[in-house]
Structure 1
């Protein structure tokens, strides 16, 4: 008579051990994947902030390259700065028209860096009104948001052979020379150190 060998299956204990091991591997894998996703989201946010700052600094550089000289302004102030705003007069060159003057201001308010530009003019009396409106924050022109999550803004000018805070209430006084350089620093929320950009003035 032929003997039949019975097939042996997994015991309940073996199945429980296998399921437990698979559960532990799944949890570890999920934690690793979750960490990768979180890191990627944080890195993407940081890259977007850096991209926004690069665009803001590029716009500032483009504006400051057209900084109007004191001679053109009949010795009026052409730049004012403090730790909340930067205001200056630039020269614009409309197509098929004579050059004009425009007041540009950058401000940090409620964590947002905004840029405003006044209407262009060739009338110095009108320019005085536009300057005063920008300095008193009463200009009616809506600002364009350049960068959010800005904690602080700092400005220094290169005068007398060193960096210093702008004097005379933050403005370049009539009769004073235009600073040769301007240092802008912006500290973003969550960043340990500010981003700093140096612009040449009157030497470009």
Structure 2
């Protein structure tokens, strides 16, 4: 009977361990890159959704103001809508329960990438309205008390009016009653361009729909 050799427990060699570690490292790097890409995409999508929500709220506020635009017959020849220099100024009706109808000047301004909205005190006096209108259209960068930021990251604001049968640039158009009724705008189109975005977001409103 021949003697038996003792059993030898064979383990992993150094090369096998290095190969296994290399494979695990490659898998870990690929997994980290995939996770990092998902996180970055989610962050970008969240920012875009926040901007879209902010733009929707800004347009909704503009639509509400445009719907309450004061009629020219009530203002006795005064201007009630002006759009130029990255801004928009209008006179709207203030309708409150158990309160008489009043007038208010609302201004939208683009300052340092922020879309700001400011409203004046409501009044029933046309002379006081004149002072509020002049203060609004001559509004300067340093006088922004009472303004509310509607949206940040905005680099452009432009306005067109619907006059007669087509859209025309709003700059230079007067809404004072000295012009003919046919030249008065009945609709307004506002285009807001976000930073790092080539295509503006456009919204159209009826003027004085209420």
- TM class by shorter chain equals over 0.9
Where do 1:1-204 residues align within 5 Å?
1-137=3-139, 141-167=145-171, 169-176=172-179, 177=181, 178-204=184-210
Deviations 1:85-136 (A, max 9, x none): 1100000023311110000011101110000000000000000000000011
| Contact 1:157 1:183 (8 Å CA) reproduced | yes
Gaps in structure 2 of 5+ consecutive residues: none
1: distance between equivalents of 2:36 and 2:96?
A: 53
CA RMSD of aligned residues (A): 1.6
Q: Secondary structure at the match of 2:75?
A: coil
Q: Secondary structure at the match of 2:105?
A: strand
* Structure 1 stretches of at least 4 aligned residues deviating more than 4 Å after TM superposition: 138-141
Number of matched pairs: 203
TM-score normalized with structure 2 length: 0.91
Greater Cα shift, 181-190 or 74-83: 74-83
1:5 to partner: Cα distance: 2.1
Greater Cα shift, 133-142 or 174-183: 133-142
| Contact 1:83 1:152 (8 Å CA) reproduced | no
| Contact 2:158 2:191 (8 Å CA) reproduced | yes
